[in-house]
Amino acid sequence: MRAVLWGAALFLCLPFVAFAQEKKEGGASLGEIIAQKSASPRLKEISLYPSQDAVRVVIVPSEKVEFKYDLLVGEGKDRIYVDLKGGTTAEGFVMPKVERGGFLKGIRLGNRPDGIRIVFDIGAVEKYNVLVLDDPWRVVIDYIGGPPPDETIPTEPQRPILVPKKTPSAPAVAPEKKTAAKEPKKPPRPFVLVLDPGHGGKDPGALRKGIAEKDVVLEFAQTIRNRAVARHPDITVLLTRENDRFVPLEERAVIANRHDGDLFISLHTNAYSDPAIGGVEVYHLDNRSDDYTEKLTRVENQITNDNSLLNTILVDMTMSFYTDDSRKFADAFGGRLEKTLPRFGVRLRGWRRGALFFVLVGARMPSLLVEVGYLSNPKERDLMRKKAYQEALADALLDAIAEVRRTHTLAKERP
């Protein structure tokens, strides 16, 4: 059953992948997602996470709705429709403010015979991601811009067309970068590591014997930051949450992007029915999945039933631009964990696995998800709260980052 569902999910990806190429010839594309029928859904909220060259839009109806979206390609600017079937705006709905000068230019609402239409006026869309999240049911869409036609930069043939663009007003930046070898070296900037302690607030994550995942992973994040200050001052560690507060899944990558991170790591603890099972796992973002990683993905994505998986859709590998680098970090970290963990009698279960974690989707930097141990394993439950274990993992991670920076040229580098 699972294989069938994933097959369906992958099938849905196909027209989506083709989209980026089609668009070059000025073609439009249509995506359509069917959710369960519903009586009278209402549009409750639209949240925006805008930036200069991208926007994440979160559409929250009162309940699960059938919806579709469509892109109209214009000259240097595009228009997106999102149609929600049935209903109208909910009482108290407030149109979000659109700030001037961003990638998102405006939003309009219109009535349709069969529902409501939301129109987004935006810059030229290069890629997008569509996710559906539960609790509350909502649609999350990333629209990501690319360089305008006259700024199109010839890239290496195997590179995806998405080029991280930091300074839209300075078209000459990227070509110069190609010949930067002969220019005097700028002092290296600090490496920005954004840590995401999973869960928080009303969402405790896994719970065993009164120990909550949300607390354990926050401690880990703080320990990693402290170790960076003490041992790797050229690595700046920032957290998506500093305390026990709830952060929606879709906000976490946004926070990482706002910090313009070089690496984004979501921290979690695992749990299983058999207390003998234990170990550490390191994942990178991938839309293919084997049985095991799929189960884990479902837990970390808070997917509760099979139907919703089918609707969790169309994740473009926009971030495939960073996949190679994500693997480099995972490899270096895994290599060090292999040496560190036996000291504590903990197993390294794997570190070359890809999985589709929504929390990582949309992060415009390499990204990993790390399960620091099993809360259901009594030994690891104790260990994970011990400074010595936290610091050993922190050092393995920070040393791995330093090693990757020494030995590789990363795709995400500043001009």
* Nearer of residues 72 and 207 to Zn ion, judged by Cβ: 207
* Nearer of residues 119 and 211 to Zn ion, judged by Cβ: 211
CA distance 381 to 213: 10
* Nearer of residues 301 and 308 to Zn ion, judged by Cβ: 301
Element housing 371 (H / E) = strand 367-374
Q: How far is the CB of 408 from Zn ion (least distance, A)?
A: 29
Q: How far is the CB of 300 from Zn ion (least distance, A)?
A: 5
Closest CA relative to residue 377, chosen from 276, 282, 280, 279: 276
Q: How far is the CB of 286 from Zn ion (least distance, A)?
A: 18
CA distance 209 to 246: 22
Q: How far is the CB of 30 from Zn ion (least distance, A)?
A: 35
CA distance 11 to 190: 41
Q: How far is the CB of 198 from Zn ion (least distance, A)?
A: 4
* Nearer of residues 370 and 392 to Zn ion, judged by Cβ: 370
* Nearer of residues 162 and 397 to Zn ion, judged by Cβ: 397
Helices (H), 78-232: 173-178, 213-231
* Nearer of residues 144 and 212 to Zn ion, judged by Cβ: 212
* Nearer of residues 137 and 357 to Zn ion, judged by Cβ: 357
Place of tokens 């949309």: 362
Give residue number: closest CB to Zn ion.
268
Beta-carbon contacts of 72 under 8 Å, excluding residues fewer than 6 positions away, are 28, 78, 79, 80, 81
* Beta strands, E only, 124-260: 125-133, 138-145, 191-197, 207-208, 211-212, 235-239
Q: How far is the CB of 208 from Zn ion (least distance, A)?
A: 13
Q: How far is the CB of 227 from Zn ion (least distance, A)?
A: 22
Q: How far is the CB of 336 from Zn ion (least distance, A)?
A: 23
Q: How far is the CB of 402 from Zn ion (least distance, A)?
A: 27
Element housing 297 (H / E) = helix 291-300
* Nearer of residues 162 and 383 to Zn ion, judged by Cβ: 383
N-terminal to C-terminal alpha carbon distance within the chain: 48
Sites of contact with Zn ion (CB under 5 A): 198, 205, 268, 300
Q: How far is the CB of 199 from Zn ion (least distance, A)?
A: 6
Contact assessment for residue 183 and residue 227, using Cβ atoms and an 8 Å cutoff? no
* Nearer of residues 235 and 370 to Zn ion, judged by Cβ: 370
Beta-carbon contacts of 409 under 8 Å, excluding residues fewer than 6 positions away, are none
User: What secondary structure does DSSP assign to 39-95, as a single string?
Assistant: S---EEEEEEEE-SSEEEEEEEESS---EEEEEEE-SSEEEEEEEEES--BPTT--P
CA distance 22 to 28: 8
Backbone angles phi, psi at 202, to 5 degrees: -70, -10
* Nearer of residues 283 and 329 to Zn ion, judged by Cβ: 283
178 burial (CB, 10 Å; 0-12 / 13-18 / 19+) is exposed
